[in-house]
A and B are shown apart, each in its own frame.
Chain A
Amino acid sequence: MLPALGVLFDGAAYGMLLFLMSVGLSVTLGMMNFVNLAHCSFAMLGGYVTVTLMNALGWPFLATLPAAFVAGAAASIVLERIFFRRFYNSNELNQCLLTIGIVFMSIATAAYIYGTDQQPMQLPSYLQGSFTVAGIDLAVYRLFLIVVAALITAVLMLTLESTRFGAQVRAAVNNQRMARGLGIDVDRLFAVTFALGGGLAGLGGGLALPMLGLDPSFALTYLIYVLIVVSVGGLGSIAGSFVAAMLLGVADMAGKYYVPALGSVLIYLVMLVMIMWRPTGLFGRR
């Protein structure tokens, strides 16, 4: 039983990371139907901001995280204003092409500024190491990840369920035309949601540094996992993204521990099974 709990814990931490990086994409895809393949570029930006602030300016790790969020949000707003809003009514393939172009440019820019090597970073000592509880080794950083992500999830869910803004978001995701008809400024709502999603991705990128590393190809490598989380969870659903991310994180860890020969294949198998069973995702609508 003990190793299983350890695997569960590790999987939950990995899943939380995936959730943070994916939730923004799920909501914006669900609300505006805008395929933003550059979503992981925001995560990458957050990662680079964290690394720069820590290594070049000596900021403590925790202080860089809000900065990563702000960077992701700011980049989202800028891109949304300049490029994305022209393509809301365009067909999906064009949106793909536009955002892939942005991904390429972001990768090249990151390579130009930071080089193509892995970015080294040192966690503060109070986040390193692990402690043992009832025979299971719990890594401090993973616990930190779980706590932070759980807090953010709680805040998101509260916002969604109990605030006016949340109600407007839910309405716009459910039926955009109707929401507009009721006088909700969907475009502004989308800009704010987009910024929020980008900010969360940036935060996810910063938090992912110690676990997933950072180099310019990050924007493409993790795009596949984010797409998997979003499609399995269902578009426009925070709860869906959460459950899907946890499912995939745990499945991935469990697979690697118990059946290493399956390796990364398990995540794809799980995805295929889930999507064939529920094509619109676990909590999706369309």
Chain B
Amino acid sequence: MQKLLCGLTCVALALIGAGSASAQNSVKIGMINEYSGQFADTGAQIDHGVTLWMKQHGDTVAGKKIELIRKDTGGMFPDTAKRLAQEAIVRDHADILGAFSLTPNALAAADVSKQAKKFMVVMNAATSIITEKSPYIARTSSTTPQLNYTLGQWAAKNGIKTVYTMVSDYGPGIDAETWFQKGFKDNGGKVLGSVRFPIANPDFSSFVQAAKDKNPDAIYIWIPGGAQPAAVGKALAERGIDTKKVKILGQDALASETALKSMGESSLGIITVSDYDYNHQSPMNKEFVKTYNAEFHRNPDFFSIGGYDGAHLIYAALAKTGGKADGDSLIAAAKGMSWESPRGPIMIDPETRDIVQTVYIRRVEKVGNELLNVEIAAVPNVKDPAHGAKK
């Protein structure tokens, strides 16, 4: 029995020995990400974004070699995420923590960032309070209020008077519902009714029917990515929703590339809000999409851009500190940093350390033979409204 424990420990030691490198001239980034399980695809896209940046810009910044240490949380397991963050710092001597696709995981790891005073870059998790949990966190993705308040505001200002909202019954969905309704009501709109459906809901027909019965100008739907967008599309088609008469409003995942492929023509006319789409018409983005495709044989999405810009931020901050990788120097350098990303101009707010960016309203249209998200409006310099900086 003790042989077993000893044997295992020896194997573990050997593996540590094999994996460690000299800590002086390298800066290690602990990627606390989902590489397996339900969220593995978003994790992969974030990882791709980071590795593409590193490939394009080399792996040395200010004389230090940048190394990625990949840690798999397997899904929504905050205790595992926290342990992996701790281990990345203690065992692997990581200087920076990155990735963080899921809010509970980010919140748990934030404690570690605060305690160990390490720079942490959130590349996807979208709940506002995350940046408040540690003074060393910066975010390069988007926040739910930022996107949904803007959508609500735009809808009310663009001829939609009544809306029925449907969201997934968990943190991000409830967040989205709150801020969309706020943006909508603040600008004169009326919410006719709302419903929250269970998280892993496979079938939306009954909910869509209930919405249709209320006869609103628009139906707002918030669901996470995965199987749900396609299922929603089917429900919309089955219930005979005409998107020209009843507008369908939603957030990015509703009109992601896979969702559009599955929904087919029934997705035409769906209006979504996002910070990034591969169809964004800028020369920088066209180049980005081309390189991304060459490397990974698929189009980038808003997860990828979070990773890409996250890596950009890390490199830029390190360059500014001249290679000093402690938390205080890096976050000081990161505050206020702004640059042109494939998504458009972005900035790290010096007060909240959260992202300030252009938010796009897009509609699904047929361009040639493809179904694409075509931008119909762009709202620049949107700060996260939950942190008090409302537009």
Contact = CB atoms under 8 A, between A and B. Distances in A.
Q: Do chains A and B touch in the complex (CB under 8 A)?
A: yes
Interface of A: 3, 6-7, 10, 14, 108, 111, 115-118, 120-122, 128-130, 132, 137, 139, 141-142, 210-215, 217, 221, 252-253, 256-257, 260-261, 263-265
Nearest to B206: A257
Interface string B250-263: 00000000110110
Contacts of A116: 40-41, 44
Contacts of A6: 209
A256 B197 contact: yes
B377 interface: no
Contact of A117 (B41, B200, B239, B266): B41
B19 interface: no
A213 B227 contact: yes
B200 A221 contact: yes
Nearest to B45: A117
9 contacts: A7-B206, A118-B259, A118-B262, A120-B230, A129-B238, A137-B209, A141-B238, A211-B234, A215-B41
A251 to B, nearest CB: 12
Contacts of B198: 256, 263-265
Contact of A264 (B38, B201, B238): B201
A132 B240 CA distance: 10
Contacts of B231: 211-213
A210 B228 CA distance: 11
Most A C-beta atoms less than 10 A away, residue of B198, B258, B259: B198
Contacts of B210: 257, 260
Interface range for B = 35 or more
A1 to B, nearest CB: 14
Contacts of A115: 41, 44
Contacts of A3: 209, 213
A118 B200 contact: no
B197 A213 contact: no
Given A6-B209, A137-B209, A260-B195, A213 B41 contact: no
A215 B207 contact: no
Contacts of A117: 41, 258
B37 A14 contact: no
Given A137-B209, A212-B227, A130 B261 contact: no
B25 interface: no
A270 to B, nearest CB: 15
A217 B203 contact: no
A130 B227 contact: no
Nearest to B34: A116
Contacts of A210: 234
A139 B238 CA distance: 5
The 10 closest A-B pairs by CB, nearest first: A213-B227, A263-B198, A257-B206, A120-B261, A116-B40, A139-B238, A264-B198, A116-B41, A117-B41, A120-B262
Contacts of B36: 108, 111
Given A6-B209, A213-B226, A260-B207, A128 B237 contact: yes
Interface in B183-231: 195-203, 205-207, 209-210, 213, 226-228, 230-231
Contacts of B258: 117-118, 120
A130 B41 CA distance: 32
B334 to A, nearest CB: 31
B67 interface: no
Contacts of A139: 205, 238
A43 to B, nearest CB: 13
A107 to B, nearest CB: 9
Contacts of B203: 10, 14, 211, 252-253, 256
Most B C-beta atoms less than 10 A away, residue of A116, A257, A261: A116
A14 to B, nearest CB: 6
A210 B238 CA distance: 12
Nearest to A129: B237
A252 B258 CA distance: 27
Nearest to B230: A213
Contacts of A211: 202-203, 231, 234
Contacts of B207: 256-257, 260
Nearest to B194: A260
A145 B244 CA distance: 30
Nearest to A6: B209
A212 B234 CA distance: 11
B72 interface: no
B350 interface: no
B169 interface: yes
Contacts of B209: 3, 6, 137, 257
Contact of A263 (B37, B201, B205, B261): B201
B264 interface: yes
A278 B255 CA distance: 45
A217 B237 contact: no
A10 B237 contact: no
Nearest to A212: B202
A7 B205 CA distance: 9
Most B C-beta atoms less than 10 A away, residue of A7, A142, A211: A211
Nearest to A139: B238
A122 B264 contact: yes
A48 to B, nearest CB: 14
A217 B37 contact: yes
B239 A263 contact: no
